[in-house]
Amino acid sequence: MNKIDIIGAPTTYGQPKLGVNLGPEAIRYAGLVKRIQNLGLEVEDRGNIDVPRIDLERFHGPQEGLRNYDEIMTVSKNLSEAVSTSVARNHFPLVIGGDHSLAIGSITGVSQHYENLGVIWYDAHGDLNIPEESPSGNVHGMPLRVLAGEGDEGLVQLGGFAPKVKPENIVLIGMRDLDEGEKQYIKKHHIQTYTMADIDRYGIQHVIEETINYLKDKTDGIHLSLDVDGLDPVETPRTGTRVLGGLTYRESHFALELLHESQMITSMDVV
């Protein structure tokens, strides 16, 4: 594997709860660098991207349209540049967050270097909403739709191109809380989707092996976006969007082992 670049994205702007921005430091304090080194891999911690300071009054106050839009644009641009630099060095960018809106920046940065990027979205949610279908205006529920070329035009055109990923190059794993609009979008675009019912029925090994086979001949790189709410709340009790009936720690660990063995994952974020 190429050298791993750890890139922190301490953003909480895509959702309404404070504390998510502390994630990168918490993961570092838990010994991330040492754990990676113990696997015999070369790693460099490149620190955190610049993130706008939180204005508490504005953060908690009423906002029109997409919440914290300017801040999210800034974070997305900064993260895109950091990730693109890592890929250009032939390194493996590992982005630690931070809420899931950061994927707009991370995947934009990666996709600049691939013709047919694939995305594995390991999550309880599809994150495929658009502003018109989101009363909350929380962008953490929209990043994958933005990356597929729909939604707010400013976010969609980040980096000067769209889409960053084709719908047919997306695989959703762990789904158990999809909005009606998301279900319709998935059906319309025939997005490869594995719900928790599918995982219960076929097992995580079958799901991951099928995912690898589905993507291997149509993509030239694969980004793994792992949201800890994909796991059951028993495993990740402090996630802000808990949904019962999720993946176990062991299932997720095995899934990552299988993906590593495939040697197809070229970048990753953890949110």
Residues annotated within the binding site for Mn(2+) are 100, 123, 125, 127, 227, 229
Residue whose token pair is 């967050």:
97
Q: Which of helix, strand or coil describes residue 224?
A: strand
Residue 88's CB is within 10 A of a number of other CB atoms, namely: 11
Q: Which residues are annotated as a binding site?
A: 100, 123, 125, 127, 227, 229
- Tell me if 101 sits within 8 A of 72, measured CB to CB: yes
Distance from the Cα of residue 144 to its chain's centroid: 8
| The Cα angle at residue 166 between residues 21 and 178, in degrees rounded to 5 | 55
Q: What is the phi/psi pair of residue 237, to 5°? A: -65, -20
- Tell me if 10 sits within 8 A of 23, measured CB to CB: yes
Find the DSSP H helices in 30-102: 32-37, 56-60, 69-88
Region for residue 222 given its phi and psi (left: phi exceeds 0; alpha: psi -120 to 50; beta: otherwise): beta
